[in-house]
A = this chain, B = another copy of it.
Amino acid sequence: MTTIKVGLIGTGYIGLVHLEVLRRLGRVEVVAVADTDRDLARAAAARFGVERVYDNAEALIADGEVEVVHDCAPNNVHFDVNARAIGAGKDLLAEKPLALDARESGELLRLAEARGTLAGIDFCYRYYPVVQEAAARTRRGDLGEVRAFAGHFLQDWLFFETDYSWRLDPAIAGQANVVADLGSHWFDLVEFITGRRIVEVMAELHTCLPKRRRPRGGVLSFGAGARGESEEVAVTLDDYASVFLKLDNGARGNFTTCQAAAGRKVDLEIQIFGSKESYAWSHVHPNALWIGHREKGNEVFYESSQLQAEETRKYATLPTGHPLGYHDAVFNLFRDFYEAVEAKRAGRPHEARFPDFRTGHRMMRVIDAAVRSDKAGAWARVE
């Protein structure tokens, strides 16, 4: 048994989640972290016993011991970090989005395929055990043909005018905010559970709060509102979006997202209506899958290492009834990814069940289409 050596770039909130979850994988060791904020990087290294600290991504990628790179940097450097890691022959687990637009993400996919890179992307919501279960049931035919779907992804951390985030700045976040940041997760769930592809969208992107107060210092994700001095800024990116969707079998769906929804924290909900039964899942009670029937009572199926489909039991790692949480979903994704890494190292075949750069690129194309649709006020195809 050998240990896989990992380097992680970006030690903000999500970087720390990666570090803690990586520790739970017994055979993976983080040997280096990098952040342009060296103090942040040092604190992370100290907390998790990481040996080497770099103040830039390039240096970490150049570290010969690093075999796998975790890209937790801000959106606007994703393309560069990912491309560089691929170029250096590392395997790669990237935060979403892959890049700022589909042209870039397509380029990354091309690079990764050319190089044979194992390239994962952190669409972690699909790794809650009952989401895996819904997908497995669909694959074995329980759902029948998907006909329609609906849902939302709501938050309230941008509720006040004094809430500000780099995600609202097009220079860092790209062409869209909430439809990209939250929408991509929801769109991935649609494709993952139904096994279908999104082919056309009609979107409206809207800014509920066109003016905000930006702190004169920097801002972190999920910040608790500005402190100290601030200045008024005009916001043009969306903090609300709604999207009609069509799948490749003609099924229709509808999605709403908003980050100014007081009282909704990480409220992702999805309902899928098939020709045989229905599924509903809410991230607020992530341990249960609702299964709807026309002719008998509905089911509330709790995640279970005993009762789930054979292939999804491993994601419900505890005896039935011990609830898993967000950390466990991320853990499940990482475990799948590193099983593929081990297989690759061992020259064994591996099936990339985890979301990869094809997934990431496809989601980017959906976002691109949504932005085009909003501008045109008309339906747009996913190209």
Residues on A close to B: CB < 8 A? 1, 3, 13, 17, 20, 23-24, 26-27, 46-49, 147-148, 150, 152, 154-157, 159-160, 202, 204, 206, 208-209, 221-222, 224, 240, 242, 244, 252, 254-256, 258, 260-267, 271, 273-274, 276-278, 283-287, 289-302, 304, 306-307, 318-328, 377-379
A17 to B319, CA, bound (A): 11
A19–chain B nearest beta-carbon distance, Å: 8
Residues of B within 8 A of A286 (CB): 323
CB distance A256 to B378 under 8 Å? no
A245–chain B nearest beta-carbon distance, Å: 9
Say yes or no: A148-B260 contact (C-beta < 8 A), given A307-B296, A324-B327: yes
Residues of B within 8 A of A13 (CB): 319
A312–chain B nearest beta-carbon distance, Å: 14
* 11 A-B residue pairings within 8 Å (CB atoms): A261-B271, A261-B273, A262-B274, A262-B278, A262-B293, A266-B320, A297-B301, A298-B300, A327-B328, A377-B378, A378-B378
Q: How many copies does the complex hold?
A: 4
Interchain CB contact (< 8 A) of A263 among B46, B221, B224, B290: B290
CB distance B202 to A321 under 8 Å? no
Known: A258-B273, A262-B274, A299-B299. 17 other contacts (CB 8 A): A20-B24, A27-B49, A148-B261, A156-B294, A159-B294, A204-B244, A208-B252, A222-B319, A261-B292, A262-B276, A262-B294, A263-B298, A265-B320, A284-B287, A322-B325, A327-B327, A377-B379
Closest CB pairs A-B (n = 6): A263-B292, A265-B321, A266-B321, A325-B325, A297-B301, A242-B254
A186–chain B nearest beta-carbon distance, Å: 13
A297 to B274, CA, bound (A): 19
